[in-house]
Chains A and B, each alone.
Chain A
Amino acid sequence: MKKSHIVGILVIAVAIAAIISTYGSSSTYANFAEAKKSDKELHVVGHLDKAKDMHYDPIKDANYFSFYVKDNKGEECKVVFFGTKPQDFERSEQIVLTGAMVGTEFHASKILMKCPSKYTDNSAEMKEFKGTKASI
């Protein structure tokens, strides 16, 4: 067997491993019901429940922000974000949360929010906020 064949086989093996691992460690967009069953971090898409309390008191703790999100199935859950409250959070239209359930709360490590643009209706703006990465 030629060396180039061995190299070729190795390359293909690594390539397959890379692709499998990509899809192995990728998650799916989930809802709270699924998040409750899983202990992994995942993405939840939903929108802010404006009727409920948002809590952010920077003077007591600048790194604690909590709010309620309704996911696409309509289920509601309290979300805690260990970072500062993003400006204009109230205006967000859609939120993509990255995080995991801790007890009855969803602890988000990242918030990606979509705001309606002030000027045109069809364009929306995306904003991302990273909180503290949970390091165990």
Chain B
Amino acid sequence: MDIQYVGEHLLPGKLGQFFIILAFGMSLLSTIAYYFQTSNDKNDLSWRQIARWSFRIHTVALIGIIAALFFIIYNHYFEYNYAYSHSSRSLPTHYMISCFWEGQEGSFLLWAFWQLVFGNVLIRFAKDWEDSVMTIVGLSQVFILSMLLGVEVFGYRIGSSPFILLRDAMQGAPIFQDPQYLVKYIQDGRGLNPLLQNYWMVIHPPTLFFGFASMVVPFAYAMAGLWTKRLKEWVKPALPYALVAVMVLGTGIIMGAFWAYEALNFGGFWAWDPVENASLIPWLTMISAIHVLVVYKNTGHSYFTALFLVLISFILVLYASFLTRSGILGETSVHAFTDLGMSGQLVIYVLVFLALSTWLIVKNWKQLPITEKDEHIYSREFWMFIGALVMTLSCLQVIATTSIPVYNKLFNGNVAPPVDPVGFYNQWQMPFAVIVALISAFAQYLKYKKTDSVKFWINTGVSLLMSALVTAVVVYYTLLGGLKLVFGENYHNDNPFNWMFVILIYACVFSVITNAKILGEAIKGKFKLTGSAVAHMGFALMLIGATIAASQKRVISINTSGFDYGKEFDSKNKRENVLLWKGESMKMDKYLVTYTGDTTEGVNTYYRVNYKVVDESNKVVENFDLNPLGQINPTMGLVASPDTRHYLTHDIYTHVSSVPKREEDAAAEGHDGHAEDEGYNPPSTYKVSVGDTINFDEGKVVVRGINKDVHLKDMTINQGDIAVGLTLAVIGNSDRKETIVEPVYLIKNRSQFTLSKKMEEFGLKFKFTKIIPDENKFELVMLKKPGKQKDYVIMKAIVFPYINFLWGGTIIMVIGFAFSISRRLKELKDAKSKDQTEKMKDVVL
């Protein structure tokens, strides 16, 4: 018989599930209708009407899904697996939005939402491209919505629904035998990952997914162009969408970097983690695609490369989502999603789009407008093409390394990723970055088709010389002695000097100066190049910032008072964490650092660390507090989030790496009247047998045996009394010295007594409280003095010099993209009105 469960709210889930099916069905119908509209008679628009209406119904249904899921999370209906797994009662409302992207289902929903937005924009504006482009976008939407279905077909489960009930998700768990399970056991959800409870995490994923979703539009235009034999025409309308895609995806990636820097404790903004790479890969190919598209538009060269890059960018988006969602990254990445058993479905999604695009290319191969002409070497198109190619190569290197787990799976290999991934990637990516930065500069002096070489060399020569001077200054202040400005007078640089940094900075400075010059000319009247000049400047500044901040960052919390483990260790390892006693100051670089206390807000504890700089005349020059967060999370252990002091030239970044354990009930038990145990931490009780070991912070206690022959000083043991000693050996970790302690259990005149024994060196006290004969075990109570253990915190502090170049550069780059988008949109409009004027002329004449 079915169990009647108490307290469940099944309506929103059923409604949500209905909306999923409706949205899926309608997007499928819309796709099919658009397909027939494209391939059928152009005069009969009935298919288009069906397609539009079904897409609109699908829009409403999708919003319904989101509303239903939010309703469930907002009302804490933990009978639903999604709410139970990703939220909790204490979660503030603004972070409930973040619940949507902690789980795979929610993030698919987000992706579907953005594709829906683009779909509606296209229906409104795409004009004669609507039918064909929407067929492709619709097909992609069908695939994404199928990931949410959660229905079984022929024994295969398709998708994973966010509306699945907890009792269905954890089938067979005994608590679901009880109809009252919800009231009795499931009072609260597991909560949102504390690292996601950050305001950047509210806006970073939507931005990133907006970028991912927008990649489908240029792809759909290219596919539609091939399909409807408009082999050249698709380029113009696709270009603004491609620019939107890179602008938004770029912003999303860098927001992720900023979140990592602000909220994670790995001490940086980019770690070449597979999940980060997965978002970077399509961005790089789409940037390349845009450059080649512009080349094609202006010269007619490089058609196939442009087409290929546009198509592959979207396929790489799908591949990236396969990497992060299939669980295949398991052993190489920490923040990939866990597997939901949908890898097969994801593979099909990738393969279908790969097969479709390959088929369309092959089918149209003969008609593709591929030129056999050779570009002139003093032409902009040639170098733009080379630049795009280098960028694609850099992307290929990232793909090859990130895909190692995929090879292992395919060929049953046992290859582990590079031991030092950051070093490995940097070593490869730096030369690529140098070439790209150089080309992004001098290509601006070139014209399409052919350029006067003398004029080019004069311009380039002057810029190169100026850049050399500027680079010298920049390098002095960012790599050499000039860093004293940031680190204080006592700074000496012990990093090995790396020429590659100088070359990279030179290339970037060259790019900034050249593009600034172009920008100057653009302001005077040649508006066209504004966007590219600004975007290139931003990109170069970003590279400078990333290079300096990552290479010159300096851990200032070097532990010098550490235990001596011999010379070998010291030379090889900097000790990067320091222990700060509460109230005791420690000198770290130019800072006097003091741990002054902590405040607890809910589950979060903020450790207040004061930084002071005092000059020779004992005047305080700088004084500020940082409050890094430490949270002991039941599922994740210590979750540490840094706090950062931002200056114009540098950041001081601090996080706790270990905190002393706090007994939560210490305060509650403290005043129970156990006067003799005062001054000790709350007791721990152990059931032990001979040979057992109990560990404590500075050593261990080994149960040696039982002493039945106990002699007590001022007590006589009579017939019928029992006195047993428990022989314990206390062994210190550092000196390995053994001390024997023997607490006694006594029954005298039918009353039980325990005679406790102390071990002063470690502040220990033992009580032998019970003998458990049938288990052959003894109950031992151990108490430990907090004694010298004052409050402390172990922390790490890093100074990042000139990191603002990175953030500033990104913002400038995004502004540049915005300029380019408005230019391309204007071109589209102009072209259209020109068309219309010409048509009018035709009519008039």
Sorting the interface of chain A by its residue count into under 10, 10 to 19, 20 to 34 or 35 or more gives 35 or more
Whether A26 and B416, one on each chain, are in contact in the complex, defined by CB atoms closer than 8 angstroms, is yes
B634: Cβ under 8 A from any A Cβ: yes
A133: Cβ under 8 A from any B Cβ: yes
Contacts A23-B415, A62-B559, A127-B334; A3 near B375 (Cβ below 8 A): yes
Contact of B572 among A3, A58, A136 (CB under 8 A): A136
Whether A18 and B573, one on each chain, are in contact in the complex, defined by CB atoms closer than 8 angstroms, is no
Whether A84 and B794, one on each chain, are in contact in the complex, defined by CB atoms closer than 8 angstroms, is yes
Point out the residues of chain A lying under 8 angstroms from B377, CB to CB: 3
Point out the residues of chain A lying under 8 angstroms from B266, CB to CB: 130
Whether A60 and B416, one on each chain, are in contact in the complex, defined by CB atoms closer than 8 angstroms, is no
Point out the residues of chain A lying under 8 angstroms from B374, CB to CB: 2-4
Whether A132 and B574, one on each chain, are in contact in the complex, defined by CB atoms closer than 8 angstroms, is yes
Rounded to whole angstroms, the CA-CA distance of A84 and B575 in the bound complex is: 10
Contact of B698 among A21, A57, A62 (CB under 8 A): A57
A11: Cβ under 8 A from any B Cβ: yes
Point out the residues of chain A lying under 8 angstroms from B634, CB to CB: 118
Contacts A29-B414, A84-B657; A19 near B400 (Cβ below 8 A): yes
Whether B562 and A27, one on each chain, are in contact in the complex, defined by CB atoms closer than 8 angstroms, is no
Contacts A41-B420, A63-B575; A57 near B697 (Cβ below 8 A): yes
Rounded to whole angstroms, the CA-CA distance of A57 and B563 in the bound complex is: 10
Contact of A62 among B331, B416, B578 (CB under 8 A): B578
Smallest CB gap from B732: residue in A: A57
Whether B734 and A57, one on each chain, are in contact in the complex, defined by CB atoms closer than 8 angstroms, is yes
Point out the residues of chain B lying under 8 angstroms from A41, CB to CB: 419-420
- Which A residues, 99 to 117, have Cβ-Cβ distances below 8 Å to chain B? 102, 112, 115, 117
Write the nearest CB–CB distance from A27 to chain B, whole angstroms. 5
Point out the residues of chain A lying under 8 angstroms from B697, CB to CB: 56-57, 59
Which of B401, B565, B577, B635 is packed against the most chain A CB atoms within 10 Å? B577
B369: Cβ under 8 A from any A Cβ: no
Point out the residues of chain A lying under 8 angstroms from B415, CB to CB: 23, 26-28
Q: Per-residue 0/1 for A65-86: is the Cβ within 8 Å of any B Cβ (1 yes, 0 no)?
A: 0000000000000000011111
B637: Cβ under 8 A from any A Cβ: yes
Smallest CB gap from A20: residue in B: B400
Write the nearest CB–CB distance from B337 to chain A, whole angstroms. 11
Rounded to whole angstroms, the CA-CA distance of A63 and B160 in the bound complex is: 44
Point out the residues of chain A lying under 8 angstroms from B792, CB to CB: 58-59
Whether A43 and B734, one on each chain, are in contact in the complex, defined by CB atoms closer than 8 angstroms, is no
Point out the residues of chain B lying under 8 angstroms from A26, CB to CB: 401, 404, 415-418
Point out the residues of chain A lying under 8 angstroms from B424, CB to CB: 25
Rounded to whole angstroms, the CA-CA distance of A66 and B831 in the bound complex is: 70
Whether B563 and A117, one on each chain, are in contact in the complex, defined by CB atoms closer than 8 angstroms, is no
Rounded to whole angstroms, the CA-CA distance of A23 and B397 in the bound complex is: 11
- Which B residues, 403 to 446, have Cβ-Cβ distances below 8 Å to chain A? 404, 414-420, 424, 428
B757: Cβ under 8 A from any A Cβ: no
Point out the residues of chain B lying under 8 angstroms from A117, CB to CB: 635
Which of B389, B404, B576 is packed against the most chain A CB atoms within 10 Å? B576
- Hey, which bits of chain A sit against chain B, CB under 8 A? 2-4, 7, 11, 14-15, 18-19, 21-23, 25-29, 40-43, 53-64, 82-88, 96, 98, 102, 112, 115, 117-120, 123, 125-128, 130, 132-136
15 contacts between A and B (CB under 8 A): A7-B389, A19-B400, A22-B400, A26-B404, A27-B418, A58-B792, A58-B794, A62-B578, A62-B579, A63-B573, A64-B563, A85-B658, A86-B637, A120-B170, A126-B330
The 7 A-B residue pairs with the shortest CB-CB distance, nearest first, are: A87-B637, A87-B638, A61-B563, A84-B658, A88-B637, A63-B575, A41-B419
